[in-house]
Structure 1
């Protein structure tokens, strides 16, 4: 009865050198996905920066206090008005 069931050893051809990889390496796929996301992020930031430079008005400078103006004039040797 043991002759009725023929046990065959599993084929190890798949584990040998004869097998060619089908598809892309999963590590490569992850690298491509993450790389493309980072690249899209950087390109998007650059595009927003260029758009903001063209459309937004320049920042207003802080007004210089009267004390600072007086100090600067005294440093330059110009007397402040009213003195």
Structure 2
């Protein structure tokens, strides 16, 4: 295998026009696409959480308290027997 390349003595075309000019490294202008996606996702999550809190606070102020389920007679009788109070009619 020979290490000689056909293009070893040729200069790439992009360097012909350069001459003795100094090349400055410039950073890409604009926002990184990953950063944009991150900001959108965090923004949506923040809007969701704040919206839920606002709706919860509004519901706590405006909705009436929930009604408790009625206790069955059988359960009432059992509770009275546990406390030592005899049920009426016995």
Instruction: Establish whether TM, by shorter chain, passes 0.5.
Output: yes
CA RMSD of aligned residues (A): 1.7
Would you identify which runs of 4 or more consecutive aligned residues in structure 1 move more than 2 Å?
Answer: none
Q: 1:18 to 1:69 in 2, by over 3 A?
A: same
Paired position in structure 1 for 2:6: none
User: Rg larger in 1 or in 2?
Assistant: 2
Q: 1:74 to 1:22 in 2, by over 3 A?
A: same
Name structure 2 gaps, 5 residues minimum.
1-11, 16-22
Report how far residue 17 of structure 1 moved: 7.0
**Bigger CA drift: 45-54 or 17-26?**
17-26
Report how far residue 58 of structure 1 moved: 0.6
**How many residues of Structure 1 are paired with residues of Structure 2 in the alignment?**
72
- Any residues of structure 2 matched to 1:3-14 within 5 Å, and which? 9-10=13-14
